[in-house]
Amino acid sequence: MVMKTDMLRQWLFPSARLPSAAGKRTRPANTMPPMRVRLEPTLLPPGEAFTPTQPKPGRRQITGRQAELDRILQALREEHAHVVLYTERGRGKTSLANLVIETLRQGGVIVARHTCEAGSSFDSVIRGLMRDLPRSLLAVAANDPAEIGCEAALPAGDLRPRDVVALMSRLTCRSLVCVIDEFDRIEDPGTRTRLADTIKQLSDQAVALLFMVVGVSENLEQILGQHPSIQRNLVALHLPLLTDNEIATALEKGAREAGFSLFPSIVERVVGLARGAPHMAQLLGLRLVQAASRRGDAQVAEADFDAAVDQLLAEASPSAMALYASLLAGESAAKMVRALRALAGAAQDPWGRIAILPSFRDGMAVGESYIRADEWHRLLDAQVLRPAAGAYGLYMFADRGFLHLVLLIDAQMTPLATPAQDFASAGLHRLASDH
């Protein structure tokens, strides 16, 4: 009877599939197994693969900085310490701040952010941070306009540190991280003092509100002022330059994402020009792939390197070019060129400081090179260099852009060097032989 029923069903519904004898569903004979399609990665436009004019938005695009990221997260999560992140311009501080914010938010931490302006005050900074938070975090509903967000948790009038200390009792979040970017742009010293006092009171009362202050500075005192009492309440992180390997990795990664490849000799030359500065590496990378794209080639060639250098020199700051020309005026132009090359190619520490000490030859010694006394005084008078704060014998370029200008001019005049010898070493050997 069962067999007749099955035969009847098959006659009435010929397209239906019947169970096999083992009770398993069988694949129709004319059905192909599903094909696995390999998706090629989407290429980025050159201006998105290399972003010299804007910070990197997050983890996917930033290269390096893992040690610094780990230290900041440890300070905020484990030590419940405030953080001050400072460095020179063009070293990726805002990109790192973006990565910190992204990582915290992915972990469920509430983060508010505010970017300062020249006229910012303590009041405008704190209110700006609260406006960055959703209104839903207010512990008590307010009648204020919805667009002000959690600013309704603040009292009217001029804010004081105690108002920030009391803030968490008016919010529903258990903890809060407030990121203040471009803090160096604030001109009012009273704002710096009030923020330092706020950090001190928050720490003393164990309030679960932490600040991460980001700005351009050479040391902690320049960005927050002289407040020794708060140093135990925060972690100060001086962001170093990128290593040569990190610069090379970032360059090759950006080129690959844009669909281009680089010869090792070109990568090496770009590393020598960048001198650890992320901004310069991004700018060079962009100009390289743009030059190759104009030729219709995905392989960046030596001609593209020359074109990139020419374009960057054409776009160089007029004031920097004028300074370079003024230094070369006179009969000692060749000696000044050698002195500038020595400084631009000298060994530097992770923060771009160069060791320059008096020489027994009545001049200054830069590594194995020698700068005559008259050249040295001209460089100091022109403010090409400045002493590093609190460090004897260490100097820095007053403007890192001028350092890169010197290197670019030398690269324009010098054919692509042998891969075995980087620019800095080659420059030092040439200087030693010339003197």
Task: Write down the domain spans for the chain.
Answer: 65-238, 244-314, 330-434
Per-residue pLDDT, 16: 44
Give every residue of the chain whose pLDDT is below 50, as ranges: 1-5, 7-28, 37-39, 417-435
- Counts for the chain of helices (H) and strands (E), in that order: 17, 13
Per-residue pLDDT, 23: 45
Per-residue pLDDT, 33: 54
Q: What dotted CATH number matches 244-314?
A: 1.10.8
Q: What dotted CATH number matches 65-238?
A: 3.40.50.300
Tell which residue, 38, 87, 127, 120, has the closest CA to residue 220.
Answer: 87
Q: How far is CA 233 from CA 82, 199, 200, 238, in A?
A: 6, 7, 7, 16
The SS3 assignment for 62 reads coil
pLDDT in tens, 220-278: 888 887 777 788 889 999 999 999 999 999 999 999 999 999 999 999 999 999 999 99
Q: How far is CA 42 from CA 36, 51, 259, 430, in A?
A: 18, 17, 9, 45
Q: Virtual CA dihedral for 60, 64, 70, 72, nearest 10 degrees?
A: -90
Per-residue pLDDT, 360: 80
What's the rounded Cα separation, in Å, for the pair 376 and 339?
8
- Contact residues for 84 (Cβ-Cβ < 8 A; gap 6+): 212, 213, 214, 215, 220, 223, 224, 234, 235, 236, 237
Per-residue pLDDT, 46: 92
What's the rounded Cα separation, in Å, for the pair 31 and 278?
54
